[in-house]
């Protein structure tokens, strides 16, 4: 499914110039604040201080901008989280670190996170869409492996790794709908509280 040697794929967002990145950031901000629907290409060009013609030079449509934000929003997630998982110690600590790092990443890229988590969209660029799906799967499977490791070590009860993994990701994914950085708790603190609740339910009694 995933092609190799895609370096000549000019649509690959890895190739984005700083101008394109700046336009994507501004768009993400507008989408997050007003919603996708209420944001026009005119709004984006005005906020970015560029002409509509230039905007259309870089992006085929508003949909294209949206798809690229959604794509980019998770691009560095895996590496960011992986770096923060301790190599040794109990599985519970690894999962806890996984959760806190995921929440931390999302809160650092909050506009893109909100924009990408809302509205339906299908990326017309199949290669990019395929990559994004593969990345999500890889991420979810990494979490399931950590859960499985804990079950095999006798640290957790004999739970279903897919269920537990979904529960963990749901708790963090849904945060984009209510989390407010201006409030008392950081995203990391909330993830840690969820980790306590969930991991306590997983552990062997």
Nearer to its own copies, 9 or 63 (CB): 63
C-alpha torsion 77→125→166→161, nearest 10: -90
Query: In the bound complex, what is the minimum distance in angstroms from residue 197's beta carbon to its own copies?
Result: 5
What is the number of other CB atoms lying within 10 angstroms of the CB of residue 97? 20
By CB under 8 A, tell whether 126 contacts its own copies: no
Q: Please, which residue, 29 or 171, has the CB nearer to its own copies?
A: 171
Q: What is the C-alpha separation between 159 and 39, in angstroms, rounded?
A: 44
Q: Among 12-20, 34-42, 81-89, 90-98, which window interacts with its own copies (CB under 8 A)?
A: 34-42
Q: Is 186 in the site for its own copies (CB under 8 A)?
A: no
Total residues at interface with its own copies (CB under 8 A): 35
Q: Nearest CA to 103 among 126, 81, 70, 73?
A: 81
Only segment of 2-10, 48-56, 92-100, 163-171 that touches its own copies (CB under 8 A)? 163-171
Site for its own copies, residues 41 to 70, rule: CB under 8 A: 63
The sign of the CA dihedral 5, 6, 8, 14 is negative
CA distances from 75 to 9, 48, 51, 78, 168 (A): 17, 23, 28, 7, 20
Where do we find the tokens 């895996």?
Answer: 78
Q: How far is the CB of 99 from its own copies (least distance, A)?
A: 12
Q: What is the DSSP letter of 88?
A: S
Residue 92 sits in the site that holds its own copies (CB under 8 A): no
- Residues making contact with its own copies (CB under 8 A): 34-38, 63, 118-121, 157, 159-160, 163-164, 166-167, 169-171, 173-175, 177-178, 190, 193-194, 197-202, 205
């Amino acid at each position: 499914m995933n092609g190799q040697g895609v370096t000549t794929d000019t649509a690959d967002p890895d190739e984005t110039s700083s101008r394109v990145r700046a336009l994507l950031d501004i768009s993400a901000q507008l989408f997050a604040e007003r919603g996708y629907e209420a944001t026009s290409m005119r709004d984006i060009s005005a906020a970015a201080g560029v002409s509509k013609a230039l905007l259309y030079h870089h992006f085929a449509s508003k949909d294209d901008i949206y798809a690229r934000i959604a794509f980019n929003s998770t691009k560095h997630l895996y590496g960011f989280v992986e770096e923060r998982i301790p190599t040794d110690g109990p599985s519970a600590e690894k999962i806890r670190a996984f959760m806190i790092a995921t929440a931390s990443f999302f809160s650092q890229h909050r506009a893109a996170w909100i924009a990408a988590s809302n509205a339906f969209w299908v990326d017309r660029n199949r290669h990019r869409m395929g990559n994004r799906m593969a990345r999500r799967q890889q991420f979810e499977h990494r979490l399931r492996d950590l859960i499985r490791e804990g079950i095999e070590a006798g640290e957790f009860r004999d739970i279903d790794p897919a269920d537990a993994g979904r529960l963990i990701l749901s708790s963090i994914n849904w945060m984009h709908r209510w989390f407010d950085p201006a409030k008392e708790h950081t995203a990391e603190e909330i993830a840690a509280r969820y980790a306590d609740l969930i991991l306590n339910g997983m552990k062997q009694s």
